[in-house]
Structures are given as C-alpha cells and as structure tokens.
Amino acid sequence: MNFTEYEGKRVVVTGVSSGIGEATARALIDLGAEVHGVSRRKPEGLDLAGFDSVDLGDPEAIRAAYGNRDEHVDALFNCAGLAPMFPPMDVLKVNFLGTRLLTELVATNMTDGGAVVSTSSDGGAAWRKRVPLLTEFLNVESFEDGAAWYEQNEEVAGHAYAFGKEALDLWTMQQSAALIQRGIRINATTPGSVRTPMLDVIEKTYPKELSAATEQPIGRASTAEEQVPPLLFLNSSEASYINGADLVVDGGYGALLSSAGHLFNA
C-alpha cells in the first residue's frame, strides 16, 4: 500500500506546525498531494500549496478562513490539538468545537469520494459510558453555544481534554451516517502516547510515570510518523467501506485496559 492516489489530490491538514499534523503534511507532500495547512503558526520546511494561520479556538477566524471558500477538497486530516494542561475552555474549543466547525465548513466543498479523519486520543476512549451527556452537548450546534454549555456544565462534564475527545469520537460516529449520504466518509484514530512537543509539555507538567503507563504493553511511545499511515489509509480509497470507525493506534494500551475491564466496555 503506497498511497500513490494522493498525487494531485487537494487536501487540508490542521496542526501542521508540529507533531502528527506536521508529519502527515510532510508525507502527503512527498506523495504529490496539494497540501493546504492550517495552524496558528506557519511551519518551516514544508512546501505547502497554501497556508491559513487560524486559531481553532477562534470561531470567527475559522469562518473567515473557510466560510466562503468554494475550492473542491478531496480529504481533510484533523490533527490539531491542545494538551490537557492548557485552560479548559481553550482545550475544548481547539480539540472539539473548532475542529467540528472547520470540518463542517470544509465538508461543504467535498463531493462523492471525499473523506475526513480526525486524531482523537485514548483520553476520550470512555465515551461509550457517557453517551447521554455527550449527546446533550452535541445537540448544541453552534461553537459559541457549545462553549457556553460546557461552562455551565463543567463539573459534570469533567476535564475538558477527555470530554472534548469523547465528544469528537461520538460526533464522528453520528456524522458518519449523515455525510455518507453525500458519499463522504468520516473516521477517527485513537493514538496513545506519541513523542511530540505536546508529550514533552505533558511530561514537564505531570509525573512521568503517568505517561510511561500509557506506553504499555509495547514499552515505548509512538513516533509521530507511526501515526501517519493509519490516517492516510482511512482517507484513501483502500478504506472505501470504512465509515464511522475509531482506529486505535496506541501500541495495545487500550486493549490492556479494556481486557482488565477498565476502559471501552459500556
């Protein structure tokens, strides 16, 4: 599987300034794709076809960048994210509300054969246990009202990082039934511990034992580059019958917890 089909395809990648987003954009450029990047700062050394400096925590910036575009998009890779230690509202806005808004706008320029994949996290894997609460949140359609909902319900919703990733997972499942009516597939991946600048910040903030635990049973963190092939696969025609899936790419950490009854079971 060499993904040569991406040659000449117009794709949008968020979070291109570092980590998984940068690695994904670089791989797509090498494959000959027309890559349009989205992040707060422009990365160096990437031959992007286009770049928009957008803070996904700012709905007006998202609308200004993508609200009136009519260029066809073949695939969207949502790789942007904030680490857990940032202010909770900022985390929720970037990791879910901004990602949802951008996806909705980009998807208007997709046609049959289009695909979306979002990078979630093991931190959101318990979404199956919280469907009623998450559904209430997801039924709040606008960015601004969603932020207000979380502000009012933060105590029951819990940590913004986990809650935002849970929301992203369930929203992906819900959207898979709607977007496929237009021939557009949407999926997610669930990385575990990934050696990126975000992990470096996490390890400086929290005890290293916490991140080390998420590296089990494989015994190490993933590289950003190891997360790229699953993303490329899900947005390719090789995955033409995969829709509404959450592909776990965590070296077995989720399986370890699930088999012990601690995670994915409802």
Least Cα distance to 52 among 32, 66, 70 occurs for 66
Residues in the chain, overall count: 266
Nearest 5°: the CA angle 154, 156, 159 is 55
Strand partners, 246: 188
Residues annotated as catalytic are 161
Cα(59)–Cα(82) distance, rounded to whole angstroms?
A: 16
How many other C-beta atoms are found inside a 10 Å radius of the C-beta of residue 146? Answer: 22
Strand partners, 77: 13, 117
From the CA atom positions of the chain, what is the Rg in Å? 17
How many other C-beta atoms are found inside a 10 Å radius of the C-beta of residue 220? Answer: 11
